[in-house]
Amino acid sequence: MTLLQAGPSPLLVVAVAMLAGFGAALALAPVTRRLPEGLTPAFAAASVLYGRDRDELTETEALSAHYTGGILAGVLFALAFLAGDAALPTEPSVLGVALVPAVAAALAVALLLYALFAHVAHPRFDGGDDGDAGRVRGDWAISVAVYVVALVVLFPVGLLLLT
């Protein structure tokens, strides 16, 4: 049985994915701090979001952009998952969540997050031409991978707990 036929409503799926996205962003924060570029990706996102230079931003503003991005990426995951759940095979499942749609949604979110950062946020942050661009993008790729893994773990757990 698919999640849509027997499981929680699509609205609950979106709400749980938002919470899972926030949880994944929380889980990512200490990992990001250990990477060579640290919070540079969060500052880049905040710079675009707030329309200010990095030097004018606080760490709180950078982290607010980071957590907001995590929640919004959770919404994207939910929408991609719901579309996939309607169109893709629903077996096997993990904790009642169809695995193929979940993996497809996770890959879609990962590609979108990386592309948005690498081609929109980072260049606007004045990171497109410096010698550190490759390292910053590498850190971002690691960050995206950690976020998506955490999201894919937290999402079915959240659904299990709330249904």
Q: Confidence class of residue 73 from pLDDT cuts 50, 70 and 90?
A: very high
Residue range 74-118, pLDDT digits in tens: 999 999 999 998 888 778 878 888 889 999 999 999 999 998 887
What is the rounded distance in angstroms from the CA atom of residue 122 to the CA atom of residue 39?
A: 13
Prediction pTM value = 0.85
* Domain membership of residue 42 as a residue range: 3-160
Domain count, the chain: 1
Cα torsion through 123, 127, 132, 137, rounded to 10: -40
